[in-house]
């Protein structure tokens, strides 16, 4: 299960002198679901295209089953791709699109028919065999693209934001569907997305990238609970990121108060970044809190309220199921496991402040389709 299938070593890519990937090191295990997650333009597609063989890295190596495959062309790799905009062949019907790879491999007719029919069943497109691909909806085209790749039984499937063009409902369905197919067929999936929720839901491991660098590799729980720096903490979920000083092991000072935490191994009095997730903050009456602040905005989110609380100029985001009116004075309590301490990084001070919070915040986070994605 956990033996390495693909290894990237010191992988770098330059486009016209501009560094797009900078010394990537990554090991991908057999049969795992690995997600490359990061904002648009961070180099996800480039990484995927190097693995697929459509780009040669400027430096560094790609290993497949221990063999260096830098110079192996795409048609000789046991890797198939689901392209960002599907790239179905418009002159072929659904059946022929799916059969394409098998026909190129010159498989016997009965074998092709058996595998195509089976595959169309798996992606719930039985009965669509002779439809023109241009007459299908986005979700159906998506499934044809997945079937066309998977029918070849590749060792690895590369997926570049495959659900980007679908509406939310369909996206959720397809997420489950993809995860199910991946587990049933035992194929390694390398999945690219800029949607952190999607990454957390589907992945065995997540690789968080920014500006051509890997920021953190870990399980979804690791990445969420133990972000390595302010960028990861901010990109995955919502975070309040504060300046702190490590007084001793398990003891951190924030805003002049000292708190018990679960982190150790820092130097005495080392400045650190402290992450506090909005859902980990307990609201108490003002007189009982370690910190008191004023509610400045309330947004109903369905399951909970997002409230912004001003603590003497620094605004925090708190998620609570109890309604608090704007202007209310509240106190908060922080349990040791609500506090996560990180080393300072280049990202310190650039994230985690909700002072300019507005309702559009969420939409700004979600990069509009294709804004920075086009080559």
Ligand X SMILES: Nc1ncnc2c1ncn2[C@@H]1O[C@H](COP(=O)(O)OP(=O)(O)O)[C@@H](O)[C@H]1O
Which residues would be at the binding site for other proteins (CB under 8 A)?
52-54, 73-75, 79-81, 83-85, 87-91, 100-101, 104-105, 132, 134-135, 148-149, 152
Among 5, 6, 20, 275, binds ligand X (CB under 6 A): 20
Q: Taking the complex as a whole, how short is the minimal distance between the CB of residue 36 and ligand X, in angstroms?
A: 8
105 — phi, psi (to 5°)? -75, 0
Q: H or E segment at 280?
A: none
Count of residues binding ligand X (CB under 6 A)? 13
181 — phi, psi (to 5°)? -60, -40
**Bridge-partner residues for 114, per DSSP?**
none
**Bridge-partner residues for 14, per DSSP?**
19
Name which of 107 and 298 has its Cβ closer to other proteins: 107
CB 305 within 8 A of CB 299: yes
72 CA to centre of own chain: 28
CB 182 within 8 A of CB 174: no
Nearest C-alpha neighbor of 199 from the set 365, 35, 27: 35
Nearest C-alpha neighbor of 252 from the set 234, 273, 233: 273
Query: Looking only at residues 42 through 81 of this chain, which bind ligand X when binding is defined by CB under 6 A?
Result: 42-46
Among 31, 35, 45, 239, binds Mg ion (CB under 5 A): 45
Choices 9-17, 41-49, 323-331, 359-367; region in contact with Mg ion by CB under 5 A: 41-49
| Residue nearest Mg ion, Cβ-based | 45
The one of Mg ion, ligand X, other proteins, none whose footprint includes residue 20, by CB under 5 to 8 A per kind, is: ligand X
366 — phi, psi (to 5°)? -70, 110
CB 307 within 8 A of CB 297: yes
Mode of pairing for the β-strands spanning 205-210 and 33-37: parallel
- The answer to whether 35 contacts Mg ion (rule: CB under 5 A) is no
CB 300 within 8 A of CB 289: no
- The answer to whether 373 contacts ligand X (rule: CB under 6 A) is yes
Q: Mapping DSSP to helix (H, G, I), strand (E, B) and coil, where does residue 129 land?
A: coil
- The answer to whether 15 contacts ligand X (rule: CB under 6 A) is yes
Name which of 15 and 323 has its Cβ closer to ligand X: 15
Q: Taking the complex as a whole, how short is the minimal distance between the CB of residue 58 and ligand X, in angstroms?
A: 12
The one of ligand X, other proteins, Mg ion, none whose footprint includes residue 43, by CB under 5 to 8 A per kind, is: ligand X
- The answer to whether 366 contacts ligand X (rule: CB under 6 A) is no
Choices 4-12, 34-42, 171-179, 255-263; region in contact with ligand X by CB under 6 A: 34-42
Site residues (vs ligand X, CB under 6 A): 15-16, 20, 38, 40-46, 373, 375
């Amino acid at each position: 299960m956990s033996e390495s299938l693909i290894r990237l070593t010191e992988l770098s890519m330059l486009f016209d002198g501009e560094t797009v990937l900078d010394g990537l090191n990554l090991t991908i295990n057999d049969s795992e679901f690995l997600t490359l997650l990061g904002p648009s333009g961070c180099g996800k597609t480039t990484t995927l295209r190097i693995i697929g063989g459509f780009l040669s890295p400027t430096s560094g190596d790609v290993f497949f089953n221990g063999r260096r495959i830098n110079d192996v062309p795409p048609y000789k790799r046991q890797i198939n791709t689901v392209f960002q905009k599907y790239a179905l062949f418009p002159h072929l019907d659904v059946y022929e699109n799916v059969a394409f790879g098998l026909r190129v491999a010159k498989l016997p007719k009965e074998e092709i028919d058996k595998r195509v029919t089976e595959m169309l069943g798996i992606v719930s497109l039985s009965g669509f065999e002779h439809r023109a691909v241009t007459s299908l909806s986005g979700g159906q085209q998506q499934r044809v693209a997945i079937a066309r790749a998977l029918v070849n039984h590749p060792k690895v499937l590369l997926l570049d934001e495959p659900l980007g063009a679908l509406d939310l409902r369909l996206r959720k369905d397809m997420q489950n569907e993809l995860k199910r197919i991946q587990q049933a067929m035992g194929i390694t999936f390398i999945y690219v997305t800029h949607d952190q929720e999607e990454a957390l839901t589907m992945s065995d491991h997540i690789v968080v990238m920014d500006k051509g660098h890997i920021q953190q590799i870990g399980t979804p729980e690791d990445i969420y609970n133990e972000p390595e720096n302010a960028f990861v903490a901010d990109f995955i979920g919502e975070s309040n990121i504060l300046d702190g000083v490590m007084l001793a092991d398990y003891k951190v000072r924030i805003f002049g108060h000292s708190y018990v935490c679960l982190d150790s191994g820092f130097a005495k009095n080392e400045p650190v970044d402290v992450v506090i997730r909005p859902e980990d903050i307990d609201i108490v009456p003002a007189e009982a809190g370690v910190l008191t602040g004023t509610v400045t905005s309330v947004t109903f989110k369905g399951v909970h309220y997002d409230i912004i609380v001003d603590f003497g100029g620094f605004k925090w985001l708190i998620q609570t199921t109890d309604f608090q009116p704007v202007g209310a004075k509240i106190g908060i309590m922080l349990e040791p496991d609500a506090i996560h301490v990180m080393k300072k990084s280049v990202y310190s001070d650039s994230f985690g402040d909700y002072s300019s919070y507005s309702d559009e915040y969420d939409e700004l986070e979600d990069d509009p389709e294709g804004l920075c994605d086009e080559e």
